[in-house]
Amino acid sequence: AVEMRWVDTYFPFTNPSFELEIFFQ
């Protein structure tokens, strides 16, 4: 949940879902 939050806030210019998937992998 924390990663998703910081990713969504850190990458507002791009798709958060995409960055989230990469981060999880």
**Predicted confidence band at 7 (pLDDT cuts at 50, 70, 90)?**
low
Q: Is the pLDDT of residue 25 over 60?
A: no
> For all residues of the chain together, what is the average pLDDT?
57
The torsion angle over the Cα atoms of residues 9, 13, 22 and 3, rounded to 10 degrees, is 0
Question: Maximum Cα–Cα distance for the chain, whole Å?
Answer: 21
Number of domains in the chain: 1
- Amino acid of residue 24: F
Q: Is the pLDDT of residue 21 over 60?
A: yes
- Using an 8 Å Cβ cutoff, are 21 and 4 in contact? no
**What does the pLDDT read at residue 6?**
58
**Cα–Cα dist 18/1, whole Å:** 15
Give residue 8's domain range: 1-25
- Determine if the pTM surpasses 0.75: no
